[in-house]
Structure 1
Amino acid sequence: MSRLIIRKVAVLGAGVMGAQIAAHCANADVPVILFDLPAREGDANGIVGKALDAMKKLDPAPFAARDRVRHVEAANYAGDLARLGECDLIIEAIAEKIEWKLDLYAKVAPHLKPGAVFASNTSGLSINALSAGMPAAARSRFCGIHFFNPPRYMPLVELIPTADTDPATLDVLEAWLTTRLGKSIIRAKDTPNFVANRVGVFSILAVLHHTARLGLAFDEVDLLTGPRIGRPKSATFRTADVVGLDTLAHVVGTMQATLPNDPWHAYFKPPEWLQALIGKGALGQKTRCGIYRKQGRQIQVLDLGLQDYRDSGGEVFPDVEDILKLKNPADRFAQLAAHPHPQAQFLWSIFRDVFHYCAVHLGDIADNARDVDLAMRWGFGWAQGPFETWQAAGWREVAEMVQDDIRHGRAMSSVPLPPWVFEREGVHAPAGSFSAEDDALKPRSALPVYRRQLYPDRVFGEAPDERGDTLWENGGVRLWRRADQDARIGIVSITSKMHAIGDEVMDGMLEAIARAEVDLDGLVIWHPAPFAVGANLQQVGEACRAGQFELLDDMVAKFQRSSMAIKHAQVPVVAAVQGMALGGGCEFAMHAAHRVMALESYVGLVEAGVGLIPAGGGSKEFALQAHAMAQRTAGGDVFPFIQTAFQTIAMATVAKSAIEAVQLGFARVSDDILFNANELLYAAIRRARGMAESAWRPVLTDPAVVVAGRDGIATCELMLVNMAEGGFISAHDYRVAKAAATALCGGEVDSGSRVGEQWILDVERAQFVELLKTEKTQQRIAHMLETGKPLRN
């Protein structure tokens, strides 16, 4: 089996996970049949229907665009099981009760398509035990496939084979999940809770234990266990609420029931207060009450001392805050361990016990240390996994500190560190990562799909990434190439902070394009996310305060020249977009000959948020789009197409996915959308090469573009009048929106006038500079720079 062709997927179970797995398959243009029990009354598919309706309201959204829901069909077990014969992959995602799963397998097995892959999305049940419920002939195509919640956004999927799973089937399934669904795969052993949950849940249990031991408050602990130590903002107790306190208790219960000989078994039980919350139905976010609850606008937290909720707050002890700011991780751990304050002791303790647990269980739960570290990054959002954190802080020094605490009874378990810990200087090296089971370094997977990932996620101590050959660079841009991919396709990377576009970036882009036209066959604009956050507001704000409006006019003119150089370059320029492409970043992407976009690209012309309009060619590009679309209609009227663009720009609408970016006009239907961002550069280089080989040439813009003119501006103003009278926009919002309408409609000219591309650029530049002269726009820029948030004035 060299390739897995999946034309249709069935998902069994329309609960939170099943429904969202179905949604993500639909995002990837894979049609899905979503099954659940038949409803007791009304529409037999009512349970699935309610699940689909609920997903439309979720934020973050499971669907990458609203129309994706059309690719999910509702079905039920009573009347539709025969439709399983249409499906190449069946994912079971019902409740975590093995008897329920086995009962369902017996019902669906007769209807499976020959050769179909069947996978259970269990978070910790034995895959071999589940496999026993399948017909013998189907067991070679059965495995575990553990998605993390929410499936669209969380990269990790754990693949768990059974003793009977065909290795080739697992290989092609891994490749499909990696590229088609954009997932990061860990091959897990069939042990309780697999890799990420095994370590992650133990980490939570360690936090629970040391929170109680040291008498810390829940909100205090969340201040300590969030971004300050490289963990998500939701930290520990907020994360428990998001996951669901009942779900957490279930996973802990699985460890308690299935790991009786674990040296930490005494801690594998939910505390009494957690069981009491579950008993009251306070399950966390899904019931709007758990460890935290919201009262009006105030977030409250459970206080065990008060036996009631109080307003959340808390603070980090100043000494501890200072220690956490130390750049050297060895110094951080040494000072935390030595400091008497409970917060310091808490932090050292939770790290120590996770290091201890992972070292003892590495051979049991994972193929190698890299898999543990990446599983915690991808599944729990840790900045570094436990082993790389340990190694970065000094492997032997930390090992001695841990062993000393074990010896003196300060650790959660008395089991000693395994001998291999003291025989090594770390677990990650350029040659690979340590496998305790094999007592050897293991290299990365050699599956062909990973050749598409030129810059995969690396762990501390692993071989560094290939930086390529620099062809030219300045303070804002680097022009380089990877000779191992295509030496004649250049890569231009913006190197400024947050990839903001200032003078050096514009100069660099112009120079890079000029050099590419002479020496290269194509150019790719790529760098790790974000793509670009727009113009350098700091430079703009300083020029405004100095009253240098002629300088600003020149700056905008240079921005326009940069965009036009991208558009009219004599070699194909491909924009590889990932993360935020806002304002000027969006305009750079819009002017490229082609876009290769990661699904999770957030694209928009957001200038209205700081009292401005797009002036790097974004308004002009929408005007050109309107002209082109109008030419295909009977009346040739451009305004219906301008109206949509006007609303998008005036409302500073941001596409929440690459699919939405196409729908909003920031990208084209012909552009490439990749689900795995690590494949972006590989695909963009090959797209540029293909365009060069197919005799690509820059588009010639129609010299007589029909614009909406005064009538178009007036019609846009009618919408604004209604919004202003209703109190939805301020007077300055009105002015900014009218400027956007003026640029989109080609200025104060007769409706239906024909103008050139440069005319529209001149109009949008003039409107932009006039807005910069206003006090309220200057206030908005200053407020954004100071707070990072828009000002409504």
Structure 2
Amino acid sequence: MTASPQTALRIRKAAVLGAGVMGAQIAAHLTNADVETVLFDLPAKEGPKSGIALKAIENLKKLSPAPLADKDRAAAIVPANYDEHLDLLEDCDLIVEAIAERMDWKLDLYRKIAPHVAPGAVLASNTSGLSINGLAEALPEELRHRFSGVHFFNPPRYMHLVELIPTRLTDPKVIEGLEAFLTTTVGKGVVIAKDTPNFIGNRIGVFSMLATMHHTEQFGLGFDVVDALTGPAVGRPKSATYRTADVVGLDTMAHVIKTMADTLADDPWHEYFKAPSWLQGLIDAGALGQKNGAGFYKKVGKDIVVLDLAKKDYVPSEPKASDEVAAILAIKDPAEKFARLRASSDPQAQFLWATFRDLFHYTAYHLAGIADTARDVDFAIRWGYGWKLGPFETWQAAGWQQVAKWIQEDIDAGKAMSKAPLPAWVTDGRAGVHGKEGSWSAAEGKYEPRSSHPVYARQLFPDPILGEKFDQGTTVWENEGVRLWTLGDDGVGILSFKTKMNTVNDHVLDGIQHAIGIAEEKLRAVVIWQTGEPFSAGADLKGALGLLQAGKFDAFEAMVANFQRTSMRIKHALVPVVAAVRGLCLGGGCEFQMHSARTVAALESYIGLVEAGVGLLPAGGGLHELALRAAKANPADPFEALKKVFETVAMAKVAGSALEAKQMGLMRDSDVVVFNAYELLHVAKKTALALAESGWRPPLYQRAIPVAGDVGTATFRAQLANLQAGYFASEHDVAIAARIADTLCGGAIERGSLVDEQWLLDLERKHFVELARTEKTQARIAHTMATGKPLRN
């Protein structure tokens, strides 16, 4: 299926109204996605009139995690104010309002901008909970069908969820166009929500936090203990409950709770929609969380201390589950885990059962009113709150009917937070809400399949809901290290690694070379794509260290030579080999993508040649490739192009995004960046086919490469001497960096000398093997393997 012309929503330019935390970061992410963006705010009382927007744009460069995938893009955001620049709205295709959560302020702003909104433009509010239909009433008649809610989650670059909320009057084609734009261009997971207070994500997510707070008090647990129980131990982020509240801001948390209290008067759980007295006490004392240094936690020197309610003071934090509960949480079978939690007399186990019970009860009771299907609820919580499984998935995995029976028993016994009845569909004998026919729609009383919107045809492996299985393709060939397979009949082979963290060992090296040989005979192109993250954590250090410690240096050098052969096999294959990268792409993984015909990388790809961190240098052809690119960029003086990449490699820098990898010279300008990681394989296959269609021939082997020579190496060594003198680098750091410089510059030969590719590869391999024989490098490798952290020796 392809979108019909009238459904395509072309967004060339956007405006964001409101330069606060969310508005500025939405503008940043639109700019990441190459959407020209104007950022508006009130006129400043002093200095330049657009000073508020200017300050917000400047601040984007300092935030962590970084809202901008490439800091230089800040300059592309246009600062504006409502007094002077309303005419800038006239050629915007999308206007996102992101001002404070005050209905009266929003309505005033809509009246002000309405005359300047272009006839075909779409207007959206980023409200996190106000009525979208109520907001639409302030708009002129002709604008109402082009208005909706578009609720980004914080931080907008990293949180996958966007809730799209139509009004009664929104044109379905506008929603369809926005869904395609948000999914592909902005890279988001879109959930269509009903216009109810707090929509889906915050309605369920905030209730979960309220239930957790209620039961914290009920079972007398410490805040740090609750965080130990409600984080990774149950498949949720490390920030768990109270750390999350500190990050969000306790005042913001209280505001959201108050919004629920004000707007959900008929909710059977309404009595719990209030900030607990101790939360209000912290706010009254000005302890608002991370933004001002103290909340449930605070940092004292290097230590994190936690608020102890009984002592009314901060005490050392010792977050730990009891031995019994830790053993229960380690159980793999969800049905057994929940049975043991419910049966245990340990207060921590009772606390966990109670929080899950009340979450399940609340979510089932409200499903019909807040969402089209159970899938929308699970995706909203997974994508917006970072849970591994949504509430319905968790319940279904634990045994739907058994858990429902326990919930009902607790309701009858007065143990649940509310006496509200479970909906009749819950106990009708079903095995759950997700199945082969789709996911349950309580409002429609039937199972609904996934959306048939054409944009989802681009997701060959979408995020699966519980129990969902996708076609795993047809295996063409495999060994212990890799699988070569096809999906469909387009002639594109997909090459996936089978090692832990997709590391590279002999089986992978031999497998890649053999698979490319098969592809040259039987296929049109190859895409290197992993079925999960990361793309590759690099070489198998354990195997390499084993050879070194056993003194098998010939075998070690043979492995390095095989690594180089593999990279060159990728580069000189007679079919185009495209690397489809997402997540970590380090060391040898980075070298493979550098040698591919094209890299197609998800925006959130963290690419780097990190070998210096373990006392080595890149020797899978990475330095050889950088020297080649430098010579091509500036044949008269390759040294100029080497300056930036030398620092990148010597300091083992990792790009914070695919856009940054381009800036650092680890990806080419011609490489493709994809914003939605679930579209990566689709785009990579199409890119590979386009290369094949264009009559792909591998690049010619280079026999006359100009190098920077001994003069270049000497210049780099002088910089290194300064670093060592200032204690910024150890003696071994300098030794490693000097060898990197020597390889990049072509060795101890005259500046401007011409060498061939094999010369560079030999030089790279020689330095790698010599470094690997040193005691300090072997200590670095062993330390990294044991701790996951680099050793500075």
Deviations 1:460-495 (CA, angstroms, capped at 9, x unpaired) = 133x01100001111110000001xx4411000011
The question of whether the paired residues in 2 share the 8 Å contact of 1:388 and 1:461 is answered with no
| 1:204-263 alpha-carbon deviations (Å, 9 max, x no partner) | 001000000001000111011100000000000011111111211111111111111111
- Match of 2:691? 691
Tell me which amino acid in the other structure corresponds to 1:757: E
Once residues 201 and 677 of structure 1 are traced to their aligned partners in structure 2, the CA distance between those partners, rounded to angstroms, is 28
For residues 419-456 of structure 1, the C-alpha deviation after alignment (integer angstroms, 9 at most, x for no partner) is 10111211000110000011100011101000000000
Contact 2:27 2:39 in 1 (8 A): yes
Amino acid at match of 2:655: A
Equivalent residue of 1:749, what SS? coil
Aligned ranges 1:521-600 → 2 under 5 Å? 521-527=524-530, 528-600=532-604
Residues 1:37 and 2:68 aligned together: no
Measured against aligned partners, the alpha-carbon deviations of 1:273-298 in whole angstroms (never above 9, x if no partner) come to 21122223322122222211112211
CA distance in 1, matches of 2:682, 2:446: 31
Q: For 1:8 and 1:446, how far apart are their aligned partners in 2?
A: 28
Instruction: Give 1:642 shift.
Output: 1.7
C-alpha separation between the residues in 2 aligned to 1:446 and 1:769? 55
Query: What is the match of residue 407 of structure 1?
Result: 412
- Determine which of 423, 433, 441 is the counterpart of 1:427: 433
- State the secondary structure of the residue aligned to 2:55: helix
Q: Does 1:748 align with 2:748?
A: yes
Partner secondary structure for residue 155 of structure 2? coil
Alignment of 1:194-213 (within 5 A): 194-213=199-218
What is the CA-CA distance between 1:81 and the residue it aligns to?
Answer: 1.2
Distance 1:340 1:2 in 2: 58
Letter in 1 for 2:248: V
Of the three residues 444, 448, 468, the one matched with 2:450 is 444
Aligned residue among 99, 111, 135 for 1:130? 135
Q: 1:773 Cα deviation (Å)?
A: 0.5
Aligned partners of 2:58 and 2:74 also within 8 Å: no
Q: Shift of the alpha carbon at 1:117?
A: 0.3
CA distance in 2, matches of 1:286, 1:23: 21
- What does residue 397 of structure 1 align with? 402
* SS of residue in 2 equivalent to 1:711: helix
1:666: Cα distance to partner?
A: 1.1
Equivalent position amino acid for 1:497 in 2: K
Q: Which range moves more in the overlay, 89-98 or 747-756?
A: 747-756
In structure 2, the residue corresponding to 1:50 is in which secondary structure?
Answer: helix
1:499 aligns with 2:502: yes
Range that drifts further, 66-75 or 376-385: 66-75
Per-residue CA deviations over 1:175-214 (Å, capped at 9, x if unaligned) read: 0010000010000000010001000000000100000000
Q: State the shift of 1:645 in Å.
A: 1.5
Q: Partners of 1:241 and 1:50 in 2: how far apart?
A: 25
- The residue that corresponds to 1:9 in the other structure is 14
Structure 1 Cα separation of the partners of residues 701 and 105 of structure 2: 63
Matches within 5 A, 1:305-344: 305-344=310-349
CA–CA distance in 2 between the matches of 1:749 and 1:121? 61
Note if contact 1:586-1:604 (Cα within 8 Å) is conserved in structure 2: yes
**Distance (whole Å) between structure 2 residues aligned to residue 121 and residue 136 of structure 1:** 21
Q: Is the 8 Å Cα contact of residues 13 and 37 (structure 2) preserved in structure 1?
A: yes
- Alignment-mate amino acid for residue 341 of structure 1: D
How far, CA to CA, are the matches of 1:133 and 1:282 in structure 2? 37
Q: 5+ unaligned residues in a row in structure 1: which ranges?
A: none
- Report the counterpart of residue 630 of structure 1 in structure 2: 634
TM-score by length of 2: 0.98
C-alpha separation in 2, matches of 1:579 and 1:701: 31
Cα offset, 1:517, TM superposition: 0.6
Partner SS for 2:7: coil
Partners of 1:461 and 1:364 in 2: CA distance: 25
For residue 735 of structure 2, what is the aligned residue in structure 1? 735
One-letter amino acid matched to 2:701: T
* Identity percentage of aligned residues: 58
TM-score of the two chains, using structure 1 as the length reference: 0.98
The aligned amino acid for 1:102 is L
Q: Determine the structure 1 residue equivalent to 2:3.
A: none
Aligned runs of 1:711-790 on 2, under 5 Å? 711-790=711-790
2:671 partner letter: D
1:613 aligned to 607, 613, 617, which one?
617
- Conserved 8 A contact 1:560-1:616: yes
1:62: Cα distance to partner?
A: 0.3
Tell me which amino acid in the other structure corresponds to 1:629.
Answer: A
Per-residue CA distance 1:567-612 (angstroms, 9 max, x = gap): 0000000000101100000000000000111000100100010000
**Structure 1 residue 376 corresponds to structure 2 residue 381:** yes
For 1:305 and 1:56, the matched residues in 2 are separated by: 42
Equivalent residue for 1:358?
363
Could you say which residue in structure 1 is the equivalent of 2:274? 269
The answer for unaligned runs of 5 or more in structure 2 is: 1-5
State the secondary structure of the residue aligned to 1:680. Answer: helix
- After superposition, the C-alpha distances for 1:686-731 in whole angstroms (9 at most, x for unaligned) are 1111111110110113211111222111111000000000100000
Structure 1 residues 367-415: Cα deviation after superposition (integer angstroms, max 9, x where no partner): 0000100111000000000111111111111111111111111111111
- Contact kept, 8 Å, 1:29 with 1:71, in 2: the verdict is no
Cα contact 1:525–1:575 (8 A) shared by 2: yes
- Does residue 470 of structure 1 match 2:475? yes
Counterpart of 1:502 in structure 2: which amino acid? Answer: N
Q: Is the 8 A contact 1:219 1:301 kept in 2?
A: yes
Map 1:61-80; keep pairs closer than 5 Å. 61-80=66-85
| Contact 2:60/2:74, CA 8 A, preserved across alignment | no
Which secondary structure does the structure 2 equivalent of 1:747 belong to?
coil
Report the Cα distance in structure 1 between the residues aligned to 2:520 and 2:788, rounded to whole angstroms: 38
Contact 1:576 1:680 in 2 (8 A): yes
Instruction: Tell me how far apart the structure 1 counterparts of residues 87 and 745 of structure 2 sit (CA, whole Å).
Output: 56
Once the two structures are TM-superposed, the CA of residue 559 in structure 1 deviates from its matched residue by: 0.4
Q: What does residue 519 of structure 2 align with? A: 516
Structure 2 Cα separation of the partners of residues 46 and 291 of structure 1:
35
Confirm or deny: 8 A CA contact 1:30 1:71 kept in the other structure: no
Number of equivalent positions? 786
Aligned AA (1:163): R
Aligned mate of 2:305, from 300, 318, 324: 300
CA displacement, residues 722-771 of structure 1 (integer Å, 9 cap, x when unaligned): 00001000000011101111111112222221111011011001100111
Give 4+ residue runs of structure 1 displaced > 4 Å after superposition: none
Which residue matches 1:116? Answer: 121
2-side partners of 1:194 and 1:579: how far apart? Answer: 30
Q: 2:167 matched to 1:179?
A: no
Paired with 1:14 and 1:288, the residues of 2 have a C-alpha distance of: 24
Q: Secondary structure in 2 aligned to 1:654?
A: coil
Conserved 8 A contact 2:227-2:319: no
Distance in structure 2 (CA, Å) of the matches to 1:310 and 1:10: 47
Q: Give the AA of the match of 1:727.
A: Y
CA shift digits 1:291-344 (9 cap, x unpaired): 111122111211111111122223210111010000100010000111111111
* CA RMSD in angstroms, aligned pairs only: 0.9
Give the distance between the partners of 2:286 and 2:163, measured in 1 at CA: 30
CA displacement, residues 478-536 of structure 1 (integer Å, 9 cap, x when unaligned): 000001xx441100001110000011111111111110011101000001221001000
CA distance in 2, matches of 1:415, 1:533: 50
The correspondence of residues 446-461 of structure 1 with structure 2, limited to 5 A, is 446-461=452-467
Deviations 1:628-661 (A, max 9, x none): 0112xxxx01111122211111011111111111
Aligned 8 A contact 1:277 1:283 in 2: yes
Query: Aligned partners of 2:642 and 2:12: how far apart in 1?
Result: 38
Whole-Å separation in 2 of the counterparts to 1:112 and 1:261: 38
User: What is the rounded CA distance, in whole Å, between the counterparts of 2:320 and 2:459 in structure 1?
Assistant: 42
Q: C-alpha distance in 2, partners of 1:520/1:259?
A: 59
Q: What's the secondary structure of 1:281's corresponding residue?
A: coil
Q: Which amino acid aligns with 1:733?
A: D
